[in-house]
Structure 1
Amino acid sequence: MSEISTKPYLLRAIYEWCTDNGYTPYLAAAVDARTMVPREFVKNGEIVLNISFTATSGLKMENDFVNFHARFGGVSREISIPVDNVVAIYARENGQGMAFEIVPQRDEEHAEEGKPGLSLAAVPTDEADPAGEDAGDPDGNGNPPKKGGRPTLTRIK
């Protein structure tokens, strides 16, 4: 029997920390053939989702998948994200959370060719968040936010 990854446990822990502190938990994920999300909200192969209690219905953070229902433009959609595809989970208000390395997965269309599937390993900080607010560059000049500006999540290796 293979050992279960620590990643789903860390996701659940950061989610609980966010909710206990009154923060809004956001989940960033790489989108591939196994990811069931509204494709119109995917940017650069990734999607960022508000996974707070008020934004989701039936949230289940299991060892293999994160599943829930959420409304997009007033329409309820079923969301299913493989835990392997989760890039980060963090609090919207202060950017604190955890980022993860994405291990390349073989998807059906590349498996025959012997090529790994698409792999993304960083959370974009210059894209609009699901609430329609610019999460990474409030003044639009390419510089990081000034003290007191919107928080961003950056990957440190």
Structure 2
Amino acid sequence: MQSSRGYLIRSLNEWILDSGWTPHLVIDAEIQGVMVPEQFINDGQIVLNITPSAVQSLLIDNEAVSFSARFGGVPMNVFAPMVAILAIYAKENGMGMGFGTEPGCEALYQDDEPDNDPTPPEPSPKASGRPSLKVVK
């Protein structure tokens, strides 16, 4: 099944604009493939205004959000895969929606530091014998 995140972001963006408010995206800047102005990243996240007067060529599809904008007068192409979008909300009242992390996206985080730890990780403790379900695709 395809992720609903792209559909929800498109709908919420339209709703926010129709209400006369200013849509903002919260993006996890540490996900691989994210292209945002690094000088505005705070605690690994960036908040971007995506109102039509602030961006050009806004594209919200099922895979990513992309647009062009000026940051400090410098033009830049912005790109964020859907898994990097953490929230969309209206600046004026905070109404919108936040998104959790999707299963399996841990591998998408950028690894800036090489793993120099010579000790192998400890094995995880065995399950307590309770049954569990596993999604098989």
> Shared topology, TM-score over 0.5?
yes
* Offset at residue 89 of structure 1 (A): 0.1
* Offset at residue 109 of structure 1 (A): 3.9
Distance of 1:109 and 1:94 partners within structure 2 = 35
Residue deviations 1:58-93 (CA, integer Å, cap 9, x gap): 000011110000110111100000111111000000
Q: Which is greater in Rg? A: 2
The structure whose RCO (Cα within 8 Å, separation 6+) is larger is 2
Q: Residue in 2 aligned with 1:15?
A: 13
User: Equivalent residue of 1:106, what SS?
Assistant: helix
The alignment's TM-score, normalised by the length of structure 1, stands at 0.66
Coordinate RMSD, CA, aligned: 1.7
Gaps of 5+ in 2: 116-137
On the 8 A contact 1:86/1:102 being kept in 2, the answer is no
Counterparts in 2 of 1:91-110, with a 5 A limit?
91-103=90-102, 104-107=105-108, 109=111
Residue deviations 1:32-78 (CA, integer Å, cap 9, x gap): 23100011100000000000000000000011110000110111100
Q: Residue in 2 aligned with 1:138?
A: none
Gaps of 5+ in 1: 114-157
Distance of 1:60 and 1:69 partners within structure 2 = 10
Counterparts in 2 of 1:1-150, with a 5 A limit?
3-32=1-30, 33-103=32-102, 104-107=105-108, 109=111
Aligned length: 110
> How many percent of aligned residue pairs carry the same amino acid?
39
Distance of 1:76 and 1:22 partners within structure 2 = 26
On the 8 A contact 1:7/1:83 being kept in 2, the answer is yes
Distance of 2:43 and 2:33 partners within structure 1 = 16
Distance of 2:29 and 2:82 partners within structure 1 = 11
Amino acid in the other structure paired with 1:86: I
User: Equivalent residue of 1:17, what SS?
Assistant: helix
> 4+ residue runs of structure 1 moved beyond 2 angstroms?
107-110
Distance of 1:6 and 1:73 partners within structure 2 = 33
